[in-house]
Amino acid sequence: MGKPVVLVVMDGVGWTEKDMGNAVLHAYKPQIEELMTKWPHTTIKASGTAVGLPSDDDMGNSEVGHNALGCGQIYSQGAKLVNESIESGAIFKSAAWNGAVSFVKEHNGKLHFIGLLSDGNVHSNISHLIAMIKEAKKEGIKEVRVHTLLDGRDVPETSALQYIDQLEDVFKELNDDSFHGCIASGGGRMTTTMDRYEADWAMVERGWHIHVMGDGRMFSSATEAIETYRKEGGYTDQYLPGFVVGKDGVPAGTIDDGDSVVLYNFRGDRAVEISKAFDYMNKGFDKFDMPKKPNVFYTGMLQYDGDLKLPDNFLVEPPHIEHTMSEFLVNKGIKSFACSETQKFGHVTYFWNGNRSEKFSDELEDWVEVPSDIIPFDLKPWMKATEVTDYMVEAIESGKYQFLRCNYPNGDMVGHTGNYEATIIGVESVDLNLRRVMDACKKMDYTLLVTADHGNSDEMYDKGTNPDGSPKPKTSHSLAVVPFAVYNGPEGTEVKEGDFGLANVAATVVQLLGFEKPAEWLEAIIK
């Protein structure tokens, strides 16, 4: 048996000398500098094909990143899965698609699509939505409504009208005497519908009122709504208040009895709560009051939670992830500990365990969630790093665990705000707390691995400038490689030369623990 291992994931901390508002490069970070100079270290891939995405031009994200970290393998993920299903036509042969279409036809209803309207390829892709709208018309659906959640996070922060125009052009092409489609409602992704980890159910409640009931400020078009809100409040897309499209006080498309609803997001974390609202509304749902509970057929793009079987209906089979590290360690009798704050708790548990909500062993796995503050992250960029560290140090010094992992969300969550100065503080907060983890590992003679799941805070500026000449904020992830360092490892630990990615970390962990990796995993990063 090797020494116990601690793994720290610095969420959203890419490693590059390129300086487009590189908050990592310019942060005061003596701990990270020490790890990446004085100890065995390298950089590893965290985007594109290395994490199962369609191409190396696709930015990584926390979900696929933690899947790869936790299972040691590369699975087709998210957009790639849906792309394959659309290209083969399998999505339109699925029971869920046929169920949604049949339900609408039987009840003379409408087919609704809810989802993030962009080509960011992290939560959704507008091309998937367009393919389904075209297929709906082909199959004889007469009425289609789209409820647009605006991005500005995985794409430029004020790019919403680009996607609105693209969708409106599709409707102009398709609308005729037999078919009518239009945008019915919308709102920014950080204000409407797309909450995650039950941090703020009020977001989902606002979405229910806007999408289902048509209860919200009304505009003649989505374009008018976006332009008006920008003039009134200077909102970027992700924070735009909710809106309803309608005329003379009549909404363009509420969700009513006899309608079908498709949530076309493929990423699970921000799809679970709205799915619960639809699937559980007549099964004791109590997260918010529902003045209206329409009888609808609801389906997600994917099954967002395999343990909860949520939603009941889904269009594309998710990757069936097997041979996870957690299962391997449980079978070896290894006791483990996982901790993060709410914003990334699911990443060190659900995504880490191969999209599984439950533990493999209640006896051998301990999880601690630190509740996140409900506040814009650039207003408190240190977030809960200190509290996460408190739990990690206590767990290390208890001597109870052979493998411990945590996620510091700061580089990602503060990076997504586009606030460069706040993001520097976020990175520095992680670095400051790393010292305590390093000291605890030294004291207990544990090996510490430090890495990240994707880039973000390393690229805070987009190309071009604002009208006043200031840099244009970039709120999306980056394609940067991420750091990987081994602190206080066994004598003689060396990093191999090679082309490594996040999926190589699992084998590294179990090798340090003294085990041979499963045959299905990629090789370890260390000799």
Are residues 336 and 465 located together in one domain of the fold?
Answer: yes
Decide if pLDDT at 1 tops 80. Answer: no
Are residues 37 and 115 located together in one domain of the fold?
Answer: no
Residues 6 or more apart whose Cβ sits within 8 Å of residue 224? none
Burial 378-416 (b: 16+ CB within 10 A, else e): bebbbbbbeebbbbbbebbeeeebbbbbbbbbbbbbbbb
User: Could you tell me if residue 526 is inside a domain?
Assistant: no
In whole angstroms, how far apart are CA 29 and each of 105, 414, 443, 475, 495? Answer: 60, 17, 22, 22, 22
Q: Is 81 helix (H, G, I), strand (E, B) or coil?
A: helix
CATH number reported for the structural domain that contains residue 466 in this entry: 3.40.720.10
**Among 512, 501, 515, which residue's Cα sits nearest to residue 64?**
501
- Ranking 79-88, 267-276, 466-475 by mean pLDDT, the lowest is 466-475
Are residues 262 and 393 located together in one domain of the fold?
Answer: no
Which residues carry out catalysis? 62
Q: What is the 3-state secondary structure (H, E, C) of 339-353?
A: EEEHHHHCHHHHHCC
User: Could you tell me if residue 376 is inside a domain?
Assistant: yes
Are residues 86 and 221 located together in one domain of the fold?
Answer: yes
Are residues 393 and 507 located together in one domain of the fold?
Answer: yes
Q: Which amino acid is at 260?
A: S
What mean pLDDT comes out for the span 171-188? 98
User: Could you tell me if residue 483 is inside a domain?
Assistant: yes
- The domain in which residue 289 lies consists of 79-316
Instruction: From 278, 294, 316, give the residue that closes a domain.
Output: 316
Q: What is the pLDDT of residue 319?
A: 79
CATH number reported for the structural domain that contains residue 175 in this entry: 3.40.1450.10
Residues 6 or more apart whose Cβ sits within 8 Å of residue 271? 123, 194, 263, 265, 300, 301, 302, 304
What is the C-alpha to C-alpha distance for residues 174 and 427, in angstroms, rounded to an integer?
A: 48
Instruction: From 255, 287, 316, give the residue that closes a domain.
Output: 316
Are residues 201 and 116 located together in one domain of the fold?
Answer: yes
pLDDT-based confidence at residue 38 (cuts at 50, 70, 90): very high
Q: What is the pLDDT of residue 17?
A: 97
Q: Which amino acid is at 465?
A: T
Are residues 71 and 164 located together in one domain of the fold?
Answer: no
Q: What is the pLDDT of residue 303?
A: 87
pLDDT in tens, 200-233: 999 999 999 999 999 999 999 999 999 999 999 9
Decide if pLDDT at 407 tops 90. Answer: yes
- How many CA atoms, within 13 angstroms, populate the side-chain half-sphere of residue 419? 16
What mean pLDDT comes out for the span 397-417? 97
Are residues 105 and 240 located together in one domain of the fold?
Answer: yes
Q: Provide the percentage of residues in the chain whose pLDDT is more than 90.
A: 90
User: Could you tell me if residue 20 is inside a domain?
Assistant: yes
Instruction: From 316, 341, 363, give the residue that closes a domain.
Output: 316
Are residues 250 and 306 located together in one domain of the fold?
Answer: yes
Q: Which residue did the predictor score with more confidence, 242 or 196?
A: 242
User: Could you tell me if residue 96 is inside a domain?
Assistant: yes
Decide if pLDDT at 58 tops 90. Answer: no
User: Could you tell me if residue 223 is inside a domain?
Assistant: yes
In whole angstroms, how far apart are CA 411 and each of 72, 250, 389? Answer: 24, 43, 16
What mean pLDDT comes out for the span 291-299? 98
Number of domains in the chain: 2
Residues 6 or more apart whose Cβ sits within 8 Å of residue 504? 44, 72, 522, 523, 524, 525
User: Could you tell me if residue 19 is inside a domain?
Assistant: yes
Q: What is the pLDDT of residue 83?
A: 94
Decide if pLDDT at 307 tops 60. Answer: no
What is the C-alpha to C-alpha distance for residues 525 and 498, in angstroms, rounded to an integer?
A: 8
pLDDT in tens, 359-376: 999 999 999 999 999 999
Burial 490-519 (b: 16+ CB within 10 A, else e): eeebebeeeebbbbbbbbbbbbbbebebbe
Are residues 136 and 273 located together in one domain of the fold?
Answer: yes
What mean pLDDT comes out for the span 270-292? 97
pTM score of the predicted model: 0.75
Are residues 250 and 366 located together in one domain of the fold?
Answer: no
Are residues 390 and 272 located together in one domain of the fold?
Answer: no
pLDDT in tens, 91-113: 999 999 999 999 999 999 999 99
pLDDT in tens, 98-153: 999 999 999 999 999 999 999 999 899 999 999 999 999 999 999 999 999 999 99
pLDDT-based confidence at residue 306 (cuts at 50, 70, 90): low
Decide if pLDDT at 499 tops 90. Answer: yes
In whole angstroms, how far apart are CA 247 and each of 147, 185, 219? Answer: 16, 12, 8
User: Could you tell me if residue 296 is inside a domain?
Assistant: yes
